Structure 1
Amino acid sequence: MADQEEDFSSLPLPDRFIHKNWKVRKEGYEAAAKEFDIAPSEADPVVRQFIQDANIWKGVVGDSNVAAQQEGLGALCSFLQIAGTSGCTRTRNITITTIAEKGLPSTRPAAKQKSLEALLLYVELDKADPVIEELIPLLSHKQPKIIAATLDALAQIYHVYGCKTVEPKPVLKVLPKVFGHADKNVRAKAQELTVEFYRWLKEGMKPLFWNDLKPVQQQDLDKLFEKVKNDPPPKQERLLRSQQAVKESAAAVGGDDDVAEEEEEDVVIDLEPEYEAVDVLSKIPKDYTERLASSKWKDRKEALDEVHKALDYPKIAEGHFDELVRGFAKCMKDANIAVVSTAANCVELLAKGLRRSFAKYRSIIMNPMMERLKEKKQAVTDAIGGALDAVFASTSFQDCLEEILEFLKHKNPQVKLESTRFLIRCLKTTRDAPSPAEVKAIADAATKLLTESQEVQRSAGAEVLGTLWKIMGDRIMNAHLDGLDEIRKTKIKEYYDSAEVRAKYKPKPVAPPKAAAPPAGKRPMPGKRPPPGGVKRPTPPAAAPPPPQEEPTAPLAPKPTSRPGASKLAAPKSGLAAPSRLGGLKKPGSGMAAASPRRPVVSPPLEEAPPPPQPRLGLAPGRGLAGRPLGKLHAEPSQAPMAVAPVNDGLGIVEKAELADLRSEVEQLRRHNEEIRAERTKLTSQIHELQNQNAQLIEDHTRDVLSIKAKETQLVRARSDNEAAEQTVLNQRREIDRLKRELSRQVRATSPAPLDVSDQIYADTNANGGARFVDSGYGSTGLYGGRNRGFGAQPTSPVGEGKENMIDGSLSRPGSTLSGKLSPLRAGTGSTKSSLSSRGGRMSPPASTGGGQANTGAESWKRAAEVTQNLKQRIEMMKAKQGIGRPQQ
């Protein structure tokens, strides 16, 4: 066994990789992983042989022994770490499918983890598209566990690298098929992958696959989306090698660690479904122009409806749409709003279908649409707004800005407001940040809107500034916001916090100064000085002024004079040119003079130094002041003796102490001034707030007082109306009572006969027993007495003839106390019957007077009926006159 092991270890690694003994293969994988880890680069011979013989890796990752397979996957990861892009591109087409089929579904967690790490390395070393293309066919595998493992790997890839690095569309298109799988584990992994997409893409991913899902699946996904809806935006956790190189180079040059992140923000995720372009020109009616010029709005509307139907395609093939767009522009001036709305919808469809190809038609249609924004119907403005958004999406922000700014000055408030809202939408959706000049134009126009009389217009202007602030940042926008009051700044800050934009302004990096060619008079190395007669420098132009020593320090001279102790600093230097304070304090004994006006550095004053003109006179013979090289000024002061250094050190300490005191005082004053400004700003804002609160309270109080007075007025009016109504009712009641009394008097005066007859009947009835009384004038019947109650149950009739029959019948029965002679009762009907006779001769009018009494009774009843009718009419007239019986107002 020992000899065999030595023989196996002495075999080359490729031979051990394909050995029939799994233990030999496993040891070979472990040895290869160690070799890869210690290899210096991909040019190492061990690495190169496995790059050239890439087919060997297929058997490694798909080893039949799970223990050997686990080590083989580890060896592949070590190989990819050192092999780089070449090893990645040579092996991924061979290994990815095998890894997904045998590595990802492995029962060993270590093997599964190494398989996933290998896939992530394949993405990191080059790009993700080839890896995704290899994994998508496995989603149709016949084994559910392979599909579930592949979905889990895809979710990990998108989680680590993000949808900005890995294209999501290919996977989104196959999601509906996976959701329809019979295995529940597959559906669960599909849900996890979909939730990962939602973390990156939100609602923008739904158009690609959402409609292909069942309603139950949509509901389940919506519940899962709610859990991650409010999570912070995800970030890429792992960078590609190309991204790492960019980040390292940026850090080496500028020290900016956020360059890679900013570049990631610029990546646009295209979630538009892929459609085939459709030729719609052939589907547009031939008589479109003639029908659009019709005088009937229905004809124009029908023509636009047909065009709308013809343009209703996601992608439209390019063609000559000039005439069509001009017709839409003409419809924007149509008097019928239905025609305008339909034309705007057609523009929106055409712009979305042509996309960037619609940009050449923008100048034809944009101005008429914005002019029609004056329409007050919200449906019309919404249709035009959608069309404007589609037009803007097909162009750029710079193309549309000029026209938008012109309409922000429109005389119509509605056009101005809708144009402002359109500008806000453009700022939120554009991916190109405006230039500083465009920012100034937008800020000036929005600042004017803050002074409008309408609150909605002021709010729109504040939203423009807030959104622009979000894009450009504080440094650029502070210059445009300084002149505004605190209330407006607070409003703008609210819109700034809530704004969601896609663009981010990035100032152009300033090129660093070239170190190879320093300007004349500058020394590249401050510690080295050229000798007095050393290197000759090119002579500057004669027109250039000489670099005087006094001028650069002139602005600094008055600074210390305003503080106590300044004269002490100036006293030792009274006979010399004013040196630079900062240069002298930094290096008091260096002996360096001012080299140029940009850096006024001179040596500190020396007691034994020559007068100031002497350094300027130490020039080469025959050369003027303007023609001397500036480097001479650096060389000549260096010849000063070093013995005076101790004196300079003493004076430098005093100067340092004085300067430190002055600086501390200045710093204290600055801090004090800043505190005062901050306190003043705070108090000013509090004053504004209190003034606003006071004005609001006064307004509320005034509103309450007016409301109370209005209620009191209404109450007084109601009381007076109530009293008047009560008085009217009382008067009407009195009048009714009077009319009733007058009516009763009239009736009594005009009909005495029936009353006398009734008295006689009452007398007979009381004497002979019960009898039935019939009043022919009013048609009422009654039963009087108690002995003869039997006939009282007989039917009565309101008709006169019936009454007579009833009375005659009741009186003619045997045993009746009346003889049936009731001529007075029948006088109203015109009958001439014999007089009523009663026992004992109580009442027996003569027969000769029966006719006269009957005529008199008939006339009396007629007169009574007329009087009654007249009285009723008068009552109705009085009621109508005084308003009785009408509904109360």
Structure 2
Amino acid sequence: MAEEEDFSSLPLTDRWVHKVWKVRKQAYEEAAQQFEKTPDEYDPAFRPFVQDPSLWKSAAADSNVAAQQEGLAALCAFLKFGGRDGALRARQHAVTPIVEKCLSSTRAATKASALEALLLFIEVDVPGPVIEEILPVLSNKVPKVVAAAVATLTQIYHNYGCKTADPKPVLKILPKVFGHADKNVRAEATNLAVEFYRWLRDAMKPMFWNDLKPTQQTDLEAQFEKVKAEGAPKQERLLRSQQAAQERAPAGGAGDEEYDDNGGQEEEPAEVDAFDLAEPQDVISKVPKDFFDNLSSSKWKERKEALEALHAIVNVPRIKDADFGEINRCLAKCMKDANIAVVTQAAQCIELLAKGLRKGYAKYRSTVMQPIMERLKEKKQTVADALGAALDAVFLSTDLTECLEDITTFLAHKNPQVKEGTMKFLVRCLRTTRDVPSKQEIASMVESAKKLLSEGSEALRSGGAEILGTIMKIIGDRAMNPHLEGLDDIRKTKIKEFYETAEVKAKDKPKPPPPAARAPPGGPKKVMGGKKATAGVKKPAPAAAPPPEPAPAPVAAAAPKPGPASKLGMPKLGGFKAPQKRTLGGPGAASPRRPAPAPSPPPMEEEPPVSPPPAKPAPRLGLGRGGLAARSLAKPAAPSVPVAPPSPTPTSGISSIERAELEELRMANERLLKSLDEARHERSKLMSEIQELKNQNASLIEDHTRDVLSIKAKETQLVRARSDAEAAEQTNDRLRRELDRLKRALSKAEALNAAGGPGSPGSPHGLHFRTMSPTHDDIYRDAPHRMSMASTLSEEKENGDGVPHPRSKLSPELRYTGSNASSGRGSPARGFRRDVSMEEKEPRSADMGGAAGYGGGYTDRAGSRTGSRAGGRDTPSSTTTTTTSGMESWKRAAEVTSQLKARIEQMKAKQASRPQ
């Protein structure tokens, strides 16, 4: 008894860790009573436990169940009446012992106190740290400890909800709990999954559903059906921060409102989807290396398989942001594909990318939206549904302001099918948007919808009325009345019907006044006009829409400046590279084109000649070798099958004659059978060639699309040719000025010769000058020749006609000139600038005899300079070469042209005489 009396005299902290359990139990009870009597959280009774938070670990893990029960009660009192600082210090010591030792206790009071202590730890701060302490216990070897931990998680989410407590860490390990060997653990896992379903619905399934067994999925679906009838769950316990926000709120209106993590009040609970729960996944690294090659294949099956592989890669709830620009450009190109299966698969890939990136996909909207809306002309419902789903996903990544320009443009499209699809898309946008459109945007949509009311199609007229009714639902009937003036009563009635049935998420209603507008404690503010401060407060209109991005100028609109920096390469148009021509036209001829971009005739109309199939694939059809020009337009006659002569009528002769006729008939039969086998073989070859023609037909369909783009590229070439012509005119002016200068120099030299100076006719210098200086006719004869040849080869190189092998048959001058006829360098302007620069340098010599160096600027047959300068003098042989090079070049060009024409005529004659 004496020892028991001494225990009460010991300090509380010493009795807290005493070896006698009764002493510890009394210390726990005494501490709980002290906590309940404290006036505030700064009372000295809390100080020992704030300074030494490990005391709570010993109390939660007490070996005596009776003392443990009282220790948990004391902890609950400490958390309830103590401050936040002491609770945070105690949390890192007490949570793990509570989960491992107390939640699985056989005493109901102990279990209840342990659960209450964990909920109080969450109430003081946030749920995250407590959940992180509980998750490692799910790997405990004792099944009842794991089951108790799962049940605790269920209670945490039931009380605080998935909005306050993040469910993602628990959803990740939920499949592991469902795979536990103990049935009690699996039962608690089912309860936890049902609790998640109350808050998240189907958004939680992508996180763990595929990892469950089919029987577990069936059982959970049955449990989910029971929960679907319930309304939206509400948070039952509030955090301290939420309680403080509720106390600051007005007395009348915070009863049933929900709060966010920071204690802010929300008007309505936000929907939780799989995107918010999932972790971003890197999919750009999983795209196959041959994806772009397969996507540009001429076979639609290979294109479809490439898109199916991409679809499997991007089919994830959330995608890590990366550079998807090239992939989206290829998917936009697929919208023009001739095969609807490829179009559908590409639209599904765009939908998954937009859903996985959300706001990160907004920068690709301009790339894919217009091609998708252009493809809305497809009448097949499956394709239209895929395109509509892709447009909806792209819209969710942006807003109505960014998409409205494209929508209003396609509402005026000439194709009724495109109009209808765009109209339905606009209605879906108005229903899903949460931002009220601005007045300018409303006026634009109303104007487009009024035009639809006068369409000949009933679907378009109803769509226009539905657009107006949905807008009226958003802004209200009073604000909509000015827009309905001038409409008849029938149309107004139709719009009213859609207005009553429309469901929208954005409504133009006034917001409550901000806290700064409320009356201060010192007295009410004076209000202009004597009205209440909140009477005229309305929801501010959204910011004006940013100016739309300027549409890309037509290709022929901007001409590049002439000069060395101007490149004559084909520009990219809409993601396509302009196709280059593969045929070479004659000098000065127009660029070769196919006869017409119309679809090619059926393969059966044009039968190829009977010949073995080539070992290499057939070249592209064009006007060059092996093209359509080399084929005969006459339909070849069908191969003749030898017919057996008619058998003679049997007569009543001797048997020897009959036997001879029988032998002849047998031989004729054998010949017929042999010819039939040959005909079958010939037919098989023809069928193989027909199949090749079908493949070529498929490639022609693709070439047709590229031809349309090539027409635009030709417009660019025309503009650039005009710029080259202007440059040539400028060069011509410079040459005239240079000629005038040379004339003046020549006149001065003649004057000096006449005066008997060093350039007199009798002197060697004067003779050399008269011999070597170019005349007026020589200059004007050679300059146009160089200009025409340089411009011709420059045009051929620009059109893709600069094929090396036909050029080797031209004269050496043409071959040398063509080697420099590249983009920008072989243009006439560059050629004349090079000549002028050389001519300006050479004639300016010390003596007047150096003026003959002007002829050194010309080239001979090998393209080298003919005039060699030695001390300001030229060799006499340069005169002949200079004066005759122009005429010889034209003569050789004419000869080569005539030879080419003769060869073409011979090839046509051979083709016509070939046996059919």
TM-score, with length taken from structure 1? 0.51
CA contact (8 A) 1:205 1:271 kept: no
Q: Which moved more, 1:149-158 or 1:464-473?
A: 464-473
What residue in structure 1 maps to residue 390 of structure 2? Answer: 387
CA contact (8 A) 2:446 2:468 kept: no
| Deviation (angstroms), 1:252 | 7.1
What residue in structure 1 maps to residue 196 of structure 2? Answer: 197
What residue in structure 2 maps to residue 278 of structure 1? Answer: 283
What residue in structure 2 maps to residue 493 of structure 1? Answer: 500
Is 1:339–2:342 an aligned residue pair?
yes
Amino acid at match of 1:45: P
1:477-876 pair list within 5 angstroms: 489=496, 491-496=498-503, 507=511, 509-510=513-514, 512-513=516-517, 598=529
Amino acid at match of 1:198: Y
| Deviation (angstroms), 1:283 | 2.7
Q: CA 1:502 to 1:141, structure 2 compared with 1: closer, same or farther past 3 Å?
A: farther
What residue in structure 1 maps to residue 718 of structure 2? Answer: none
Amino acid at match of 2:126: K
What residue in structure 2 maps to residue 611 of structure 1? Answer: none
Q: CA 1:279 to 1:31, structure 2 compared with 1: closer, same or farther past 3 Å?
A: same
Amino acid at match of 2:237: R
| Deviation (angstroms), 1:130 | 1.0
CA contact (8 A) 1:251 1:257 kept: no
Distance 1:307 1:267 in 2: 29
What residue in structure 1 maps to residue 436 of structure 2? Answer: 434
What residue in structure 1 maps to residue 373 of structure 2? Answer: 370
Q: CA 1:317 to 1:114, structure 2 compared with 1: closer, same or farther past 3 Å?
A: closer
Q: CA 1:176 to 1:109, structure 2 compared with 1: closer, same or farther past 3 Å?
A: same
Distance 2:218 2:229 in 1: 18
CA deviations 1:382-426 (Å, max 9, x no partner) are: 222232233234334543344335444545443344334434544
| Deviation (angstroms), 1:337 | 2.1
Distance 1:401 1:201 in 2: 33
Distance 1:473 1:237 in 2: 36
Distance 1:111 1:515 in 2: 51
Distance 1:335 1:494 in 2: 39
Is 1:128–2:127 an aligned residue pair?
yes
CA deviations 1:512-548 (Å, max 9, x no partner) are: 5587899xxxx9899xxxxxxxxxxxxxxxxxxxxxx
Distance 1:229 1:455 in 2: 39
Amino acid at match of 1:363: S
Q: CA 1:42 to 1:286, structure 2 compared with 1: closer, same or farther past 3 Å?
A: same
SS of corresponding position for 1:341:
helix
Find the structure with the greater CA-based Rg: 1
CA deviations 1:43-68 (Å, max 9, x no partner) are: 22211321221111011122222222
| Deviation (angstroms), 1:233 | 1.1
Q: Highest relative contact order (Cα 8 Å, sep 6+), 1 or 2?
A: 2
Distance 2:246 2:449 in 1: 40
SS of corresponding position for 2:145:
helix
Q: Which moved more, 1:395-404 or 1:338-347?
A: 395-404
| Deviation (angstroms), 1:80 | 0.9
1:96-245 pair list within 5 angstroms: 96-245=95-244
CA contact (8 A) 2:347 2:390 kept: yes
Q: Which moved more, 1:334-343 or 1:148-157?
A: 334-343
SS of corresponding position for 2:222:
helix
What residue in structure 2 maps to residue 329 of structure 1? Answer: 332
CA contact (8 A) 1:23 1:68 kept: yes
Number of residues of Structure 1 aligned to a counterpart in Structure 2: 520
| Deviation (angstroms), 1:123 | 1.4
Q: CA 1:458 to 1:80, structure 2 compared with 1: closer, same or farther past 3 Å?
A: farther
Is 1:414–2:417 an aligned residue pair?
yes
Q: CA 1:429 to 1:119, structure 2 compared with 1: closer, same or farther past 3 Å?
A: farther
Q: CA 1:510 to 1:98, structure 2 compared with 1: closer, same or farther past 3 Å?
A: closer
What residue in structure 2 maps to residue 831 of structure 1? Answer: none
Q: CA 1:45 to 1:462, structure 2 compared with 1: closer, same or farther past 3 Å?
A: farther
| Deviation (angstroms), 1:75 | 1.2
Q: Which moved more, 1:35-44 or 1:353-362?
A: 353-362
CA contact (8 A) 2:466 2:495 kept: no
CA deviations 1:471-530 (Å, max 9, x no partner) are: 88999899999999677545543443xx7x599977363465587899xxxx9899xxxx
Distance 1:117 1:517 in 2: 40
Distance 2:250 2:336 in 1: 58
CA contact (8 A) 1:283 1:310 kept: no
Amino acid at match of 1:385: G
Unaligned runs of 5+ in 2: 260-264, 532-916
CA contact (8 A) 1:341 1:383 kept: yes
| Deviation (angstroms), 1:137 | 1.6
Distance 1:494 1:76 in 2: 57
What residue in structure 2 maps to residue 45 of structure 1? Answer: 44
CA deviations 1:168-204 (Å, max 9, x no partner) are: 1221222222222222222221111111111111111
SS of corresponding position for 2:229:
coil
Amino acid at match of 1:434: V
Distance 2:419 2:88 in 1: 58
Is 1:265–2:264 an aligned residue pair?
no
Q: CA 1:77 to 1:407, structure 2 compared with 1: closer, same or farther past 3 Å?
A: farther
Amino acid at match of 2:435: A
Amino acid at match of 1:394: S
CA contact (8 A) 1:288 1:303 kept: no
Distance 2:508 2:99 in 1: 40
Q: CA 1:352 to 1:514, structure 2 compared with 1: closer, same or farther past 3 Å?
A: closer
CA contact (8 A) 1:405 1:445 kept: no
| Deviation (angstroms), 1:208 | 0.9
CA deviations 1:227-276 (Å, max 9, x no partner) are: 11111111111111222222222327998974735266247555543354
Amino acid at match of 1:357: G
Distance 2:152 2:342 in 1: 54
| Deviation (angstroms), 1:442 | 8.7
What residue in structure 2 maps to residue 66 of structure 1? Answer: 65
CA contact (8 A) 1:127 1:240 kept: yes
CA deviations 1:15-69 (Å, max 9, x no partner) are: 2221222222222222212222222332222113212211110111222222222
What residue in structure 1 maps to residue 354 of structure 2? Answer: 351
Distance 1:446 1:4 in 2: 96
SS of corresponding position for 1:43:
coil
Q: CA 1:141 to 1:453, structure 2 compared with 1: closer, same or farther past 3 Å?
A: farther
What residue in structure 2 maps to residue 249 of structure 1? Answer: 248
Amino acid at match of 1:382: D
What residue in structure 1 maps to residue 12 of structure 2? Answer: 13
CA contact (8 A) 2:280 2:320 kept: no
CA contact (8 A) 1:417 1:457 kept: yes
Amino acid at match of 1:360: K
CA contact (8 A) 1:471 1:505 kept: no
TM-score, with length taken from structure 2? 0.50
Distance 1:507 1:27 in 2: 57
Amino acid at match of 1:493: E
Unaligned runs of 5+ in 1: 527-595, 601-889
Amino acid at match of 1:262: E
Q: CA 1:458 to 1:66, structure 2 compared with 1: closer, same or farther past 3 Å?
A: farther
